[in-house]
């Protein structure tokens, strides 16, 4: 239980009101954050020499469960590592705009057809040139896979070569998020010749077109990446070597920054920026993300009161997302609907039906359901700031007469309990979704028949699924359609969106000049690491 006490202690002044269950909120004053350029927290100084070794620390090595096949990767921490070696046809800019990557450009002769013009000179790290066959094969393999990302590509009808340097994708019907879905790691272009002749096993070997290749990996200990000398983008990567240490304890990552053994580290405690303010040469910044925390209520557990929609709606009404954002996240998160706050076209969480309901109405719903003395266990992982978020949830629901016991686990144990069995055995659980780069993408996870991973604790809502599909067919002016999706999901309340999940990144200004987006759509703080310039290597 130490991390819970730490979270409460770090934010003691803020949590004092929440922990006293008075219903009042202390609003912290967030210091304005400098931006290096529009859309960027930091821009690497290209005047610095290339070369050198960059030492990083992250909290988890999440690939062991499924191997390192990018098409099966379904968590953002895996995407971070795989993005160092794999690339996609397109990528996203700092403003969520879709930009060229392995495709130099694309044509859209109608709203169902995309013709991608492939970049010349692209090679896999084994030296073989990327071909249109690799692109066609990669997309077909993804669509036929059991990976969750296949559903994000939408209703793809056909993928074919259109000459030696073009690939045409035809959709069965318009699907607005298609290009944004191609920008994430599971849609990476793979070495299909080597896969087909079985000379490479993607579960154990990374063979992509990206800036780095793996030299050494010790699960849960470290990764070493070396420059891909065959990389097509001249001048990148800037650093010759990336040494990534897996340091689960936040205190260890902070200590590494302070003593200089790490040039950059990802942090979870929202107060880390303040805690590191006096550390010589260390700069901490908060990267906004479209990722968001959400509460899962298991409606499939036999005998559970959470199967009753009135009970779930009461819980949704009693939750105070604004208070969670202000208290647990230090004012750095934002309340959100299922379309992530921060994305153009996202729903206004203040306009959700539950937002206009009172605590008395929540208690009335519980009474109608015969659940006045409801109690359940909330299962969470111990990575900060999840414990602090859970504590505010606990206090919110106490106001409605609901007793919540918090069960805290390491991330692997938590994942096994939440996703390991169908039907799942937990009562309620806290997690977060990567928010992606289009407001319609994450809504697909509210259809368990598409998502799959939540089929053990969530019933399909056919009307909600129909609204999601209809909203994503509209090429533009989706606001009204997405508002309908948000309202229906708000009433369903099997997965309740809470607040966006900011990322804290700290780096040594005397060792490193990094590039960082101000807002990240795919939970990938290492997205621009190939741009980073090493000032000196300890």
Q: Using DSSP, state whether 518 is helix, strand or coil.
A: coil
Q: CB–CB of 252/221 below 8 Å?
A: no
> What per-residue confidence (pLDDT) applies to 28?
40
Question: Does residue 456 have a pLDDT over 80?
Answer: yes
Question: Does residue 56 have a pLDDT over 60?
Answer: yes
Question: Does residue 315 have a pLDDT over 90?
Answer: yes
How confident is the prediction for the chain on average, in pLDDT?
Answer: 90
Given pLDDT bands bounded at 50, 70 and 90, which one contains residue 37?
confident
Given pLDDT bands bounded at 50, 70 and 90, which one contains residue 74?
confident
> What per-residue confidence (pLDDT) applies to 66?
63
What would the mean pLDDT of 198-221 be, rounded to a whole number?
95
Q: What does R_g of the chain's alpha carbons equal in angstroms?
A: 23
Compute how many other C-beta atoms are within 10 angstroms of the C-beta atom of residue 32.
Answer: 6
What would the mean pLDDT of 168-176 be, rounded to a whole number?
96
Question: Does residue 514 have a pLDDT over 70?
Answer: yes
Given pLDDT bands bounded at 50, 70 and 90, which one contains residue 422?
confident
Given pLDDT bands bounded at 50, 70 and 90, which one contains residue 33?
low
Q: CB–CB of 166/118 below 8 Å?
A: yes
What are the contacts of 5-11 at 24+ separation with CB within 8 A? 6/269, 6/384, 6/387, 7/269, 7/328, 7/384, 7/385, 7/387, 7/388, 7/391, 8/388, 8/391, 10/269, 10/271, 10/275, 11/270, 11/271, 11/327, 11/328, 11/330, 11/388
What's the predicted TM-score (pTM) here? Answer: 0.87
What would the mean pLDDT of 224-244 be, rounded to a whole number?
96
> What per-residue confidence (pLDDT) applies to 477?
81
What would the mean pLDDT of 33-39 be, rounded to a whole number?
76
> What per-residue confidence (pLDDT) applies to 65?
63
Q: Which residue has the tokens 């077909």?
A: 140
Question: Does residue 517 have a pLDDT over 60?
Answer: yes
Give the helix ranges, DSSP H, for 302-349. 309-318, 321-323
What would the mean pLDDT of 111-134 be, rounded to a whole number?
97
Question: Does residue 236 have a pLDDT over 60?
Answer: yes
> What per-residue confidence (pLDDT) applies to 537?
74
The pair of three-digit structure tokens given for residue 429, joined into one six-digit string: 């659980």
Q: Beta-strand (E) ranges in 140-256?
A: 156-161, 166-171, 212-218, 222-227, 241-246
Cα–Cα dist 35/274, whole Å: 18
Question: Does residue 442 have a pLDDT over 60?
Answer: yes
Q: What is the β-pairing status of strands 53-58 and 264-267?
A: parallel
Percent residues over pLDDT 70 in the chain: 93
Q: CB–CB of 525/287 below 8 Å?
A: yes
What are the contacts of 192-195 at 24+ separation with CB within 8 A? 192/133, 192/134, 192/137, 192/138, 192/141, 193/128, 193/133, 193/134, 194/124, 194/126, 194/128, 195/137, 195/141
> What per-residue confidence (pLDDT) applies to 57?
97
Cα–Cα dist 54/37, whole Å: 23
Question: Does residue 34 have a pLDDT over 70?
Answer: no
Given pLDDT bands bounded at 50, 70 and 90, which one contains residue 277?
confident
The closest alpha carbon to 176, from 288, 344, 342, belongs to: 344
Compute how many other C-beta atoms are within 10 angstroms of the C-beta atom of residue 519.
Answer: 21
Q: Which domains does the chain have, with CATH numbers?
A: 40-47+211-289+502-534 (3.40.190.10), 85-197 (3.90.76.10), 292-500 (3.10.105.10)
Residues 6+ apart with CB under 8 A from 515: 40, 42, 43, 44, 528, 531, 532
The closest alpha carbon to 205, from 125, 144, 139, belongs to: 125
Question: Does residue 25 have a pLDDT over 60?
Answer: no
Write a three-state SS string for 340-374.
CCCCCCCCCHHHCHHHHCCHHHHHHHHHHCCCCCC
Given pLDDT bands bounded at 50, 70 and 90, which one contains residue 9?
very low
Residues 6+ apart with CB under 8 A from 182: 88, 89, 90, 98, 153
> What per-residue confidence (pLDDT) applies to 77?
85
């Amino acid at each position: 239980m130490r991390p819970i006490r730490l979270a409460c202690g770090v934010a003691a002044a803020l949590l004092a009101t929440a922990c006293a269950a008075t219903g009042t909120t202390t609003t912290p004053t967030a210091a304005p954050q400098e931006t290096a350029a529009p859309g960027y927290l930091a821009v690497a100084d290209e005047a610095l020499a290339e070369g050198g070794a960059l030492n990083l620390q992250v909290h988890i090595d999440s690939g062991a469960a499924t191997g390192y096949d990018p098409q099966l990767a379904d968590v953002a921490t895996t995407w971070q590592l795989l993005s160092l070696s794999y690339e996609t046809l397109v990528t996203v800019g700092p403003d969520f705009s879709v930009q060229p990557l392995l495709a130099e450009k694309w044509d859209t002769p109608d709203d169902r057809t995309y013709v991608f013009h492939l970049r010349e000179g692209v090679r896999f790290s084994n030296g073989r040139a990327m071909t249109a066959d690799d692109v066609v094969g990669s997309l077909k393999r993804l669509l036929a896979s059991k990976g969750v990302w296949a559903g994000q590509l939408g209703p793809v009808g056909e993928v074919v070569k259109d000459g030696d340097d073009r690939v045409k994708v035809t959709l069965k019907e318009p699907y607005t998020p298609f290009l944004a879905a191609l920008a994430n790691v599971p849609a990476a272009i793979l070495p299909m010749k080597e896969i087909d002749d079985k000379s490479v096993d993607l579960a154990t070997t990374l063979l992509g077109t990206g800036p780095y290749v793996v030299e050494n990996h010790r699960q849960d200990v470290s990764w070493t990446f070396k420059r891909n000398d065959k990389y097509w983008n001249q001048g990148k990567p800037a650093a010759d070597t990336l040494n990534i240490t897996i340091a689960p304890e936040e205190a260890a990552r902070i200590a590494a920054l302070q003593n200089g053994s790490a040039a950059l580290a990802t942090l979870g405690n929202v107060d880390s920026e303040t805690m590191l303010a006096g550390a010589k040469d260390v700069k901490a910044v908060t990267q906004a993300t479209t990722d968001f925390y959400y509460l899962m209520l298991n409606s499939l557990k036999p005998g559970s009161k959470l199967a009753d929609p009135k009970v779930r709606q009461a819980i949704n009404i009693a939750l105070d997302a604004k208070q969670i954002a202000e208290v647990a996240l230090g004012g750095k998160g934002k309340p959100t609907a299922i379309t992530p706050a921060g994305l153009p076209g996202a729903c206004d969480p203040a306009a959700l039906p539950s937002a206009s309901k009172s605590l008395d109405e929540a208690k009335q719903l519980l009474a109608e359901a015969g659940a006045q003395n409801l109690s359940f266990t909330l299962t969470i992982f111990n990575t900060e700031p999840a414990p602090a978020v859970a504590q505010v949830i606990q206090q919110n629901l106490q106001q409605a007469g609901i007793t919540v016991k918090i069960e805290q686990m390491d991330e692997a144990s938590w994942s096994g309990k939440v996703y390991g069995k169908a039907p799942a055995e937990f009562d309620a659980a806290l997690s977060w979704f990567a928010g992606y780069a289009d407001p319609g993408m994450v809504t697909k996870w509210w259809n368990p028949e598409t998502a799959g991973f939540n089929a053990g604790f969530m019933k399909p809502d056919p009307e909600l699924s129909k609204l999601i599909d209809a909203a994503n067919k509209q090429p533009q002016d989706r606001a009204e359609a997405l508002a309908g999706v948000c309202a229906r999901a708000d009433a369903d309340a099997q997965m309740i969106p809470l607040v966006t999940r900011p990322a804290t990144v700290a780096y040594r200004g005397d060792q490193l000049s990094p590039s960082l987006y101000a807002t990240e759509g795919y939970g990938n703080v290492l997205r621009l690491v190939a741009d980073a310039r090493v000032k000196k290597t300890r």
